[in-house]
Every structure is written in C-alpha cells, then in structure tokens.
Amino acid sequence: MDLGAGLRAIMALAFTLALLGGLAYLAMRFDFTSFFNRDPEQPPKKLLDFFKPAAAPQRRLHIVEQRPIDARTRLMVVRWDDVEHLILVGGGGGDGLIASKAAAQKATAGDGA
C-alpha cells in the first residue's frame, strides 16, 4: 500500500467518524427520539440514556481492616454478606481463615438453648 492509498483510507475513516458524530449531535439537539415514541402518554427518553453504563451490582465483599504482621504476611478483616472473617494472608503456606464472627455467635446461641 503506497502513501496515497493509506492517506485516503485515513481520511475516509475520519470522514465517517465525523459524519457519525454529526448525526449523534443532531439527534441530541433536536430530540429525534420523540419521532419514534409510539405512546403519547409516555415521555420520550433521551438518546444519552442509551449510552449510560448499567448500574454496578451490589458488592458483597469488603475489606474492613488490614494490618501487616511482617514484610510478607498480613492479617485482614473481611466482611462478606454481613459476616466478618479474620484471614491470615501472604505467609509461607499458612494462609487461611482464623476466625469468623457470625460462626462464633451462632455457636454460643446454640449452646444456650
């Protein structure tokens, strides 16, 4: 591909993108969505609502606190579905769950019955 053909391809791409951008601007400026709205009782939606990201799902896992024990090991308190867990992370293979707050509460409630 010579320089002329490459330049022509880049110019065609720029023209196409400019044309799409101009049409999007006109659609927002003159609210073309009202032409396609079949229900007169329902207010027309804006074009930008289509481009908004979907709502993020509710996060279930939160790091409440973390403390370093040494250079490689840290102790973390993690909340997962309203249950707090104490986890040792980063050691030489001794990683794991140390304690769980909800499990301890259920055990004491079961012993009292």
| Residue 64, H or E segment | strand 61-68
Average pLDDT of the residues in 40-57: 59
DSSP helix, strand, coil percent of the chain (3-state; round to 5): 40, 25, 35
At residue 91, the pLDDT reads 72
Q: What distances in angstroms separate CA 105 from CA 81, 93, 102, one per listed residue? A: 15, 28, 5
- At residue 7 the predicted structure's pLDDT band, cuts being 50, 70 and 90, is very high
Q: What is the pLDDT of residues 72-84, one digit of tens each?
A: 889 999 998 889 9
Say if residue 5's pLDDT is above 80: yes
